[in-house]
Amino acid sequence: MSDYVIIGNGTAATGCIEGIRSVDPNGKITLISKEKHKVYSRPLISYLLEGKTDVERMKYRSDDFYDKNGVSFLPGISAAKIDADKKEISLDNEEKIAFDKVCVSTGSSPFVPPFEGLDTVEKKFSFMTLDDALSLKDALNPESRVLIVGAGLIGLKCAEGIKDLVKEITVCDLADRILSSILDAECAGIMQKHLEENGIKFLLSDSAAKFESNKAIMKSGMEVEFDVLVLAIGVRANISLVKDIGGEVNRGIVVNTKMETSVKDIYAAGDCSEGYDASIGGNRVLAILPNAYMQGFAAGVNMAGGDKEFSNAIPMNSIGFFGLHVMTAGSYDGECFEEKREGVLKRFFVKDNCLIGYMLIGETDRAGIYTSMIREKVPLDTVDFELLKKVATTFAFSGENRRKKFGGVV
Amino acid sequence: MKRVYVNEEWCLGCHLCEYNCAFANSGLKDMADALKGKKIFPRIHVEGDEKISYGVSCRHCEDPMCIKSCIAGAISKENGVVTINRNKCVGCLTCVLVCPYGALAPSEEGTMQKCELCVKNSCGEPACVTGCPNKAIVYEERG
Amino acid sequence: MSIRYIYPEFEVVRNENRCIACRVCERQCANEVHSYNEEKNVMISDETKCVNCQRCVSLCPTRALKIVKSDCTLRENANWQNDTIKEIYKQAGSGGVLLSSMGNPKPLPVYWDKILINASQVTNPPIDPLREPMETRVFLGKKNGEIERDEDGNLKCSLPPQLELSMPVMFSAMSYGSISYNAHASLARAATELGILYNTGEGGLHEDFYVYGPNTIVQVASGRFGVHEDYLKAGAAVEIKMGQGAKPGIGGHLPGAKIVGDVSKTRMIPEGSDAISPAPHHDIYSIEDLRQLVFSLKEATEYKKPVIVKVAAVHNIAAIASGIARSGADIIAIDGFRGGTGAAPTRIRDNVGIPIELALASVDQRLRDEGIRNNVSLVVGGSIRSASDVIKAIALGADACYVATAALLALGCHLCRTCQSGKCNWGIATQRPDLVKRLNPDIGSERLVNLMTAWRHEIKELMGGMGINSIEALKGNRLMLRGVGLNEKELEILGISHAGE
């Protein structure tokens, strides 16, 4: 019997452990991890290939993290089924674990469409886990020509990571622009140009229709030859554990602001969950690390008997390629104010006297000031918005506001 | 815990805090040697205009957003001081995305840096405090 | 201007190996001497604007700057000196009266430096101030000539109001308007902490400083700026300013550009109007008139506060002092010709008035001769520069000293003598808010307290050396002084013997 069981071993799971321990220093925690590794930072796998980090430095917490927090760590094991009435989890090794509260933080899995001829491709990889990255690295050599399907955050990060290891990279996507989930056409165009200047080739509004061993035949008819194929089309939240027992699911496992699912004593957090997104006023999968941590922490606190709501989550991204950085946050459904300069494009979205979102490319200093304005719904008539559009500075706030921010303990 | 506080009433916008910070964290013994001909990357920066100015540096929040957001787990709290493990940082700038005070910025090497109250350098006490010519910056416990 | 008659007096020397182009010099120079050339990443300096206030030198973090006197000089001439010639050029260019700030810089005799102090040896041993109690307290005010007893033999305590000072030094008059709000705040707080007094000068008393009233002398000058009932009641004493050592015979002048905001409000005159104090008080044309004003002020303050009359040291100072001593004033303040000023005509500052040492000695002697020394306390100012000057002044007969230049130096003044421009880089002699900010009263008052504390200790050491343990025993004790390099007449006026005698 474990007071708390956490299914998953990523950022949300870590947040959950720390959340539980902030309230309950003694209750038994068991963590079930499909991957054998101790918790590591998944977003760093491209940096690993690039050489900016290594397996040791990628660890999200220290090696003694589980021991120090009294967590019974079960690596290489999956949860097969949750019995909500008996309060029992069946593992894939036939064992069962009884629980008082469980947190499902199973993350997501790469989505691989059933491409014709995909089975004929010898060297094909997803780009999701540390093991994916390590096996991809093994398959590459300086003569490799790589085709990456998917010009989203994962596909492009992979391209950046392997650029110096291979001869040629081509990225294709059905969308008419790169990073279509977060950027509009103009901003995406700026980033695309920068990536092209750094040697990445793009085929947009086009995708593979069929594969033939070392060749992809595109929808447009064009043929692309490659040695290695990376599939980074998208991910699907791992919702089966809750879906199978009738819990409310959508694209992800639906949770309230306390991270509770529709099934009693079952919580969910991280990329597998669909929690409240303050920028749209409804639920949405927000698969970003900071949100995963905060959701996990809130779940943990509530599981341990505390009371924590996480109600100001917004989509936000900070991503850079070859030295050019992009930051986005919130929603774009408002009046747009633009600042444009050589190499810099900033877009601010305003609705009901509040900043609701922004897109910054080329100049991202102190963007957190804008992010906090979105999350805290700061009325724009209390700040010098003209100044803020030009530069992110706390000087745009009133003297009184600044004294509160900087004069005490926050 | 003592923190660095800047008083707008006395800040002259002279920027000496920035230069003292850059020097203190340079690891070198002579300021001219450390900073001559170089662009500085201070961990405190002056904001404002000709009439009002003040220095901004990490607030060492009680519940820091940067720690929760760092994708590498490189930021942590040691004895109340929010500190960055430069070894783990990959320069993704997620911390910049979330810090409400704009207290973090890249260093010369590309990894992130911010005020760590001079606990790790040879100064011992925050260099911006000792170097302020008008006692606008103080190091004290509040709240 | 196609011909530059006057070469810049100072040169800015920058050690290029040490300059890190941090731009502090540029940001902190109100005269805009320094600027940054972005293209070449170097700092450049325009020495034509430099006044040698050394703000940049003091703030440069790598000590890369120094200001030197230009060695571009005219041919040496003991009669037509460089400065003399430059002043002619200036007047030929402007047609105006030359104005200067601070005290007389000419190489006229400094008598303090020609007077030596005694120390005890063998008989009458010295006292160690760290082991024995030493009394540095003084009381300023009219003293009774004799002890009076009632019919039962008990002491009759009929002492007029006295000012108690923890040491025989006070901060002299500097008006709000000539110096900044923060300078006044520093002086007021330091005086309060030290247990001495500071003087409002002729600019009135800012309402924020009423709280320091018990340590404030409120001044009534010929322009009567800021004088109203509450003002008189706020202070510990009222000072009638008849004259000032730096500019005897003329009044004060604060240009309209400086009469803004709180300065205008405190002086009770409209913004932008020149604050001109007339040369005489237009209601004082005789000693009887002075007596009338003294008693009006006493009436207004219910006879609870001493009245001070401040005069400049001029030729008949002894006779003038004698008259004042009979007018009902409690304290006479004499200001010697070295006294400082915010702005005064150069010729008057440098040529009018007499040294305070001689004035003090002659006044003290005259009052004693006439048997009225106890009618008044004597306070002297006009370049009291150190604790030894204080000791010598007291030995010559003073009850206490006024210091002003020394106080400003403690606040950061570098005696560049360009106060009249209103661009004091140290935040002292200016009303520009961005410059006034540079004087943080927390720091300013601490430095003033440090200075006076140091002087108090030195006074005790010097007294202890003489075998004296209280200021009272030093007062007028001319036997403790000897002159050196003084002629017979000087010795006679000072009332001291020559060293060796």
* Whether A58 contacts A131, CB under 8 Å: no
Q: Which of A56, A57, A63, A398 to mutate to test the interface with B (most CBs of B within 10 A)?
A: A57
Considering CB atoms only, which of A15, A368, A393 is closest to B96? A368
pLDDT (tens digit per residue) in C466-488: 999 999 999 999 999 999 999 99
Q: Is the distance from CB of A17 to CB of A31 less than 8 angstroms?
A: yes
Residues of B in contact with C434 (CB under 8 A): 12, 50-51
| Short-list C73, C96, C67, CA closest to C86 | C73
Half-sphere exposure of C404 (CA within 13 A, CB side): 28
Tell me if B16 and C434 make a contact (CB, 8 A cut-off): no
Residue B86 neighbours by CB distance under 10 Å:
13
pLDDT the model gives residue C181:
96
Domains identified in chain B, total number: 2
Tokens read off for A288: 């970003």
3-state class of C66 per DSSP? strand
- Give the CA distances from residue C260 to residues B74, C188, C269, C275, C429, in Å, rounded to whole numbers and listed in that order: 55, 22, 10, 11, 14
B109 within 8 A of B99, measured Cβ to Cβ = no
Chain B neighbors (3+ CB pairs < 8 Å): A, C
Do B37 and C28 count as a contact with CB atoms less than 8 A apart? no
CATH class, range A325-407: alpha beta
Least confident of A9-18, A297-306, C277-286, C423-432: C277-286
Three-state DSSP at A337 gives: strand
Are the beta carbons of C440 and B134 separated by less than 8 Å? yes
Using only C-alpha atoms, chain B has a radius of gyration, in whole angstroms, of 15
The verdict on residue C405 lying in a domain is yes
Distance CA C27, CA C31 (A): 10
pLDDT of residue A74: 95
* Joined tokens for residue A238: 């791992």
Sign of CA dihedral B76, B78, B79, B81: negative
- Find the domain containing B82 and state its range: 59-99+108-114
Query: A112-145 pLDDT, tens per residue?
Result: 999 999 999 999 999 999 999 999 999 999 999 9
CB within 8 Å: C61 and B31: yes
For residue A395, what are the contacts with CB-CB under 8 A and spacing of at least 6?
Answer: A384, A387, A402, B47, B48, B49, B52
Task: Give how far A123 is from chain B: nearest CA, Å.
Answer: 28
Q: Which pLDDT band, with edges at 50, 70 and 90, does A1 fall under? A: low
In the block, tokens 């002087």 appear at C455
pLDDT of B30-69, one tens digit each?
Answer: 999 999 999 999 999 999 998 999 999 999 999 999 999 9
- Contact (Cβ atoms closer than 8 angstroms) between residue A169 and residue A159: yes
pLDDT of residue C147: 85
Phi, psi of B82 (to 5 degrees): -75, 120
Residue A318 at interface with chain B, using a CB cutoff of 8 Å? yes
Burial (CB count within 10 angstroms: exposed 0-12, middle 13-18, buried 19+), residue A132: middle
Measured CB to CB, residues of chain C less than 8 Å from chain B are: 17-20, 22-24, 27-28, 41, 58-59, 61-62, 64, 433-434, 437-438, 440, 442-443
- How many angstroms away from the CA of B29 is the closest CA of chain A? 30
The confidence score (pLDDT) of residue C157 equals: 82
The CATH number of residue C321's host domain is 3.20.20.70
Is B14 close to C59, i.e. CB distance below 8 A? yes
The answer to whether residue B19 neighbours chain C at the CB level (below 8 Å) is yes
Q: Both C46 and C173 in a single domain?
A: no
Q: Give how many domains chain C has, as a whole number.
A: 2
What are the helix and strand counts (H, E) for chain B?
5, 8
Is the pLDDT at A77 greater than 70? The verdict is yes
Contact between A366 and B96 using a beta-carbon 8 Å cutoff: yes
CB atoms inside a 10 Å sphere around CB A376: 11
* Positions of chain C with pLDDT under 70: 1
Q: State the smallest CA–CA distance between residue A80 and chain B in angstroms.
A: 29
Domain hosting residue C347, numbered range? 165-462
> B72 with B90, same domain?
yes
Q: Which residues contact A96 (CB under 8 A, 6 or more apart)?
A: A88, A89, A90
As a whole number, mean pLDDT of residues A62-67 equals 95
Domain boundaries, chain A: 2-43+58-108+236-303, 112-233, 325-407
Q: Which position has the token pair 């699911």?
A: A249
Asked if B134 and C434 come within 8 Å (Cβ–Cβ), the reply is: no
Nearest by CB to A392, which of B71, B102, B104? B102
Question: Closest residue of A to B57, CA-based?
Answer: A406
Q: Which of 58-77 (B) contact A at CB < 8 A?
A: 59, 61-62, 65, 68-69, 71-73
Identify the CA nearest to A33 among candidates A88, A81, A87, A72: A72
Q: Which of C435, C440, C443, C445 would you mutate first to test chain B, the one with the most B CBs within 10 A? A: C440
Mutate to test the interface with B, among C16, C19, C22, C25 (most CBs of B within 10 A): C22
| B124 has a pLDDT exceeding 90 | no
Q: What is residue A2's predicted lDDT score, i.e. its pLDDT?
A: 65
Q: Do C20 and B31 touch (CB under 8 A)?
A: yes
Based on C-alpha coordinates, what's the Rg of chain A?
A: 23
Q: What is the pLDDT of residue C146?
A: 84
| Chains near C (3 or more Cβ pairs under 8 Å) | B
Beta strands B137-141; B2-6: pairing state: antiparallel
Which of B15, B131, B135 is facing C443, going by the closest CB pair? B135
Contacts of B137 in chain C (CB under 8 A): none
Point out the domain boundary residue: C56, C78, C96.
C96
| Alpha-carbon torsion, ordered C426, C432, C434, C440, to 10 deg | 50
Q: Is C323 left (phi over 0), alpha (psi -120 to 50) or beta?
A: alpha
Based on the fold, state whether residues B15 and B51 are members of the same structural domain. yes
Q: Do B15 and C440 touch (CB under 8 A)?
A: no
Nearest residue to A367 (alpha-carbon basis) of B100, B64, B47: B100
Separation of first and last alpha carbons in chain A: 40
Angle at C169 between CA C499 and CA C375, to 5 degrees: 85
Q: Strand order of the sheet with strand A253-254? A: A253-254, A273-277, A282-284
Q: Å from B18 to nearest chain A CA?
A: 17
B69 and B92 belong to one structural domain? yes
For residue C310, give the 3-state DSSP assignment.
strand
Residues A189-217: tens digit of each pLDDT: 999 999 999 999 999 999 889 999 899 99
B57 CB near a chain A CB, below 8 Å? no
* Predicted ipTM of the assembly: 0.96
Q: C27 to chain B nearest CA, in Å? A: 6
- pTM tops 0.90, yes or no: yes
Name the neighbours of A, counting chains with at least 3 Cβ pairs within 8 A: B
Domain A112-233 in CATH 3.40.50.2300: no
Q: Is B51 on the interface with C (CB under 8 A)?
A: yes
Please, are residues A97 and A72 in contact by the beta-carbon 8 Å criterion?
no
C61 vs B19: CB contact, 8 Å cut-off?
A: yes
Residues 6+ apart with CB under 8 A from C451: C406, C407, C410
**What residue of C is the nearest CA neighbor of B51?**
C434
Please check whether residue C472 lies inside any domain of the structure: no
- pLDDT of residue B121 exceeding 90, the answer is no
Tokens coding A17: 């452990």
Residues B66, B89, single domain; the answer is: yes
For chains C and A, tell me whether 3 or more CB atom pairs sit within 8 A of each other. Answer: no
The Cα of A316 is separated from the nearest Cα of chain B by a number of Å equal to 8
Q: Which SS3 state, helix, strand or coil, does residue C438 take? A: coil
Is C22 close to B134, i.e. CB distance below 8 A? no
Closest Cβ opposite residue A289 in set B5, B56, B69:
B69
Asked if residue C452 belongs to a domain, the reply is: yes
Residues B40 and B71 in one domain: no
> What pLDDT is stored for residue C1 in this prediction?
59
Task: State yes or no: pLDDT of A252 exceeds 60.
Answer: yes
- Touching chains B and A? (3+ Cβ pairs < 8 A): yes
**Closest to B101 (Cβ–Cβ): which among A289, A316, A394?**
A394
Mean pLDDT for chain A? Answer: 94
Tell me which residues of chain B, numbers 70 to 129, contact chain C at a CB-CB cutoff of 8 Å.
Answer: none
Tally of CB atoms within 10 A around C29:
23
CATH architecture of A2-43+58-108+236-303: 3-Layer(bba) Sandwich (3.50)
Whether residues C399 and C264 fall in one domain: yes
The CATH number linked to C92 is 3.30.70.20
